[in-house]
Amino acid sequence: MTLDKLIIEFDKGLRTLLAPAQSARPLPGRDLNEPELAAADKKHAAGLMRVNHVGEVCAQALYQGQALTARDPAARTALEEAAREETEHLAWCESRIHALGGRKSLLNPVWYVGSLALGMAAGALGDKWSLGFLAETERQVEAHLGGHLETLPEDDAKSRAVVEQMQADEARHAETAVTYGAQELPAPVKVAMKFASKVMTKTAYWV
């Protein structure tokens, strides 16, 4: 890895953690009215959107790890496209957290560094395992977002619109990884990933 590349990636990391994310696509549900939620519902929705924001911080780091290690140029281009959409997800989650009066996770730097290390470790195993890890992550996130749609306040149509669009995007990202040769991960690895994400989501709901 060249020093140039390392500096660019370091810069991306700082931007993920410190700068507001930008979105080319409009915010899903932007034309809907901000709902009048009971205080407890608002707090719950903000907690869920904080969890989703953490997920997107991790996605930034995972895709960054991929970009550092992917060998196939076509795969790299497709991954960069997916990574751009992850940045939009980051922006959308930020916007909902703000509107709901919540705050972002204080542990974002920890989530970021951990995910970057995981992404690079997966990358070191070669493209097919690295893509396999990505595909499984996207599938688990898609399922997790489905769970949020069941618990998000019914009246918070704005958050629901964001989560629904993210869910559709993550499903597509999983397909992209498969298209470029993702290897199906062994079942115990999938279980370990589910456990790790449970710890992360439970923590991020509060901190």
The footprint of Fe ion (CB under 5 A) covers 59, 86, 89, 138, 170, 173
Least distance between Fe ion and beta carbon 190 (Å): 17
Distances, alpha carbon 106 to alpha carbons 4, 112, 167, 204, in Å: 30, 11, 25, 9
Cβ proximity to Fe ion, 45 vs 174, nearer residue = 174
| CB 39, min distance to Fe ion, A | 28
CB closer to Fe ion, 21 vs 120? 21
- 154: exposed, middle or buried (Cβ count in 10 Å: 0-12, 13-18, 19+): exposed
Q: With respect to Fe ion, which residue has the nearer C-beta, 54 or 120?
A: 54
Token readout for 162 is 């964001």
**Cβ 2 to Fe ion shortest distance, Å:** 27
Taking the least distance from each CB to Fe ion, the nearer of 44 and 89 is 89
Residue 182 CB burial class (10 angstroms; 0-12, 13-18, ≥19): buried
Among the listed residues 33, 28, 31, the one whose alpha carbon sits nearest the alpha carbon of residue 49: 28
Q: In angstroms, what is the minimal distance from the CB of 130 to Fe ion?
A: 15
Whole-number minimum distance, CB 169 to Fe ion, in Å?
Answer: 6
- The angle, 0 to 180 degrees and rounded to 10, between the axes of the packed helices 39-69 and 187-206 is 130
Kindly tell me which of 37 and 57 has the beta carbon lying closer to Fe ion. 57
